[in-house]
Chain A
């Protein structure tokens, strides 16, 4: 299996622009997670989906952030408009099963820089 795939790997944009990050989970996994990693705040869970349905989005920082999962093999995280404080590495992870012992498999991340 190719693992969790994220694109783009790097994104540089200007403040005010829309940014869309993409994730393809491991085939067969029914949970998908979006995390943000910064030096100041560490690794934070933004939102997660189960069977394409958003379950908990309490970590989404504000209305500028939105996430969708139109099907089992694709999810997007959108920031509109972007701001410099959104600069971070965004990770997508997936797992299989509802058990809390299940391992989450992380993608390589998207390194976002908002100028």
Chain B
């Protein structure tokens, strides 16, 4: 089934930037679409973005469009989330998730990495 492990979270000031990484293992990474999903403190789950297996297509939520960029390096088995112009409401636990093949549902999740946007 595999494993996912996010990294790169931390404390950043409003307006700052941060890049999250998600290292995948135990499956053929390039065969699967991937997503980022976040959970703000005390809130529910929010889909952030997804990217196709070969990285040719991606989509993102309106709340992050123009600020966040999703990419992947299939040779390094790694998914990325470049976050710019961060705001306080971007504070959340960020999960990367592997799609079930052929479906836009998330069959494998990492433990998450916490991003805190605060001055």
User: Do A and B truly interact?
Assistant: no
Instruction: State the A residues within 8 Å of B (CB).
Output: none
